[in-house]
Amino acid sequence: MTGGRQLNLRSLQSMALAGGMNGVMIGNYLTSKGSDPHDDLTMLRDLGRTRTMPNVQ
């Protein structure tokens, strides 16, 4: 789930994660401003989700 989620889902973003969505891009996006990364990480932590880092070689 990426750009537009703050506008379209607002407070329902966590429901998408609880319903099976398995990925979130945090911070700013390519062409639009995103939410505060700390808010996104708090949402993930509140849902008991973990985060992974990209495997860059």
Using one digit for the tens of pLDDT, what is the confidence trace for 12-53? Answer: 788 887 877 777 777 777 777 777 888 888 988 898 888 787
| pLDDT for the residue 53 | 76
Taking the model in full, what pTM does it have? 0.64
CA gap 53, 57 in Å, rounded: 12
pLDDT at 4 over 80: no
